[in-house]
Amino acid sequence: MSAPRAQGAPPAQAGAGEVVPLAQPVLGEAEERAVIEVLRSGQLSLGPRIPAFEERFAAQLGVPYASAVSSGTAALHLALRAIGVGYGDEVVTSPFSFVASANATLYVGARPVFADIDPRTLNLDPAAAAAAITGRTSALLPVHIFGYPADLPAFEAHGLPIVEDACEALGAVHADGTPVGGRGHPAAFGFYANKQLTTGEGGMLTLASAELKARVDSERNQGRAPDMGWLDHDRLGFNYRLTDIQAAIGLCQLDRLDGMLADRARVAGTYREALAGIEGLELPCEDAGGDVRGWFVFVVQLPRGVARDDVMAGLRALGVQSKPYLPAIHLMSFYRERFGHRPGEFPVCEDVAERSLALPFFPAMSEGQVARVAEALARVLDR
Ligand SMILES: Cc1ncc(COP(=O)(O)O)c(C=O)c1O
């Protein structure tokens, strides 16, 4: 494996004038060589790297099957179809997520029913989710937000089908030692450029049975029959294929995965120390009860009463990128208009969403860069 480098990242000793970016993928010569090999092979799609990537990803998580798709959103869509969620159904899910987890429910004609989140983990609160279950609930869709494992055993107790949104959670581990995505439910992973593993765009769906995999593989490829008979599309399908170029990058990224996850955890530890003295600032929750976070982003909660826009502007002036992350889904204009959601419905989520700020976070981030971010934040909050 070639030496990785953070593409476009500032040098390790970033000076005062250099911008500290929010995210940087780790890519290197291995990925470059792999891409060139695919280009030279002439087989850019539906080639051998797709099953190779799927098999290695499944082995990494200890699951029987995985299907590579074009995005995490596509994985969620196909997962909901695979477990039979459809028109008129309700899916209980978190309002504190990237919008795709709720949108996927709408793609299949079902309604996302939100329930509030746990203030520590920021994941769907099991008690609130239980209270939101009705006779029309056909599935639960917990999100492992910011890579922290959702309380799957609590959701499993209801006996309802579950789809896991693990798009942010590669590398996370449940208290019983099971990797997130490895509990037997369809679990969607995303490979956008800021993720723990990237293929530029892309996704993976982990699956427990050969039947589910056959269905997903067909539906990602326009509903083509498993024997790939060109004219026989025996079900409705989509073009959710990953290319061989992306799969080749994914295979190289799997080689690097343990190192990249360890680097992310190291950067998170450095942040904890650097930010510890800032009064009123809340840091991502520590691992507890045996759950292990798969570090994806470093999101802090600003002290109440602080104007986040001003903080972001102050950080920008000091060369530090930041982003409000995440807004509450139910308060987005589309969801308000479509479902009549109003502020006050999910107070924990709304409070967190108003105060959360993602700071620069990537595996190659140096101690100096973390210190610069921490100093800048302390300065801006002190004004
Ligand atoms: C929680 C969550 N769900 C779903 C997605 C969708 O993944 P993608 O952007 O690959 O479609 C993302 C990715 O940003 C995510 O963070």
Tens-place pLDDT, residues 189-247: 999 999 999 999 999 999 999 999 999 999 999 998 766 666 678 789 999 999 999 99
- Residue 1: the pLDDT is 42
Q: Where are the alpha helices (DSSP H) in the chain?
A: 29-41, 49-61, 72-82, 100-107, 126-132, 152-156, 210-219, 244-275, 308-317, 333-339, 347-355, 367-382
Phi, psi torsion values for 117, nearest 5 degrees? -105, 165
Mutation test of ligand 1: which of 144, 192, 349 has the most ligand atoms closer than 8 Å to its C-beta?
A: 192
For the CA of 194, the closest atom of ligand 1 is 14
List of residues 6+ apart from 319 with CB closer than 8 A: 16, 17, 18, 19, 20, 372, 376
**Average pLDDT for 309-325:** 97
Instruction: Please state, as a whole number, how many other Cβ atoms lie within 10 Å of the Cβ of residue 238.
Output: 17
Whether the per-residue pLDDT at 267 is higher than 90: the answer is: yes
pTM greater than the 0.85 cutoff:
yes
Ligand 1 pocket at CB < 6 A: 71-73, 97-98, 100-101, 143, 165, 167-168, 190, 192, 203
- Residue 7: the pLDDT is 44
Mutation test of ligand 1: which of 76, 77, 96, 98 has the most ligand atoms closer than 8 Å to its C-beta?
A: 98
**Average pLDDT for 324-330:** 96
Whether the per-residue pLDDT at 293 is higher than 80: the answer is: yes
CA pair distance 215, 69, nearest whole angstrom: 13
- Residue 268: the pLDDT is 98
**Average pLDDT for 42-56:** 97
Whether the per-residue pLDDT at 52 is higher than 60: the answer is: yes
Task: State pLDDT tens for residues 14-30.
Answer: 455 689 999 999 999 99
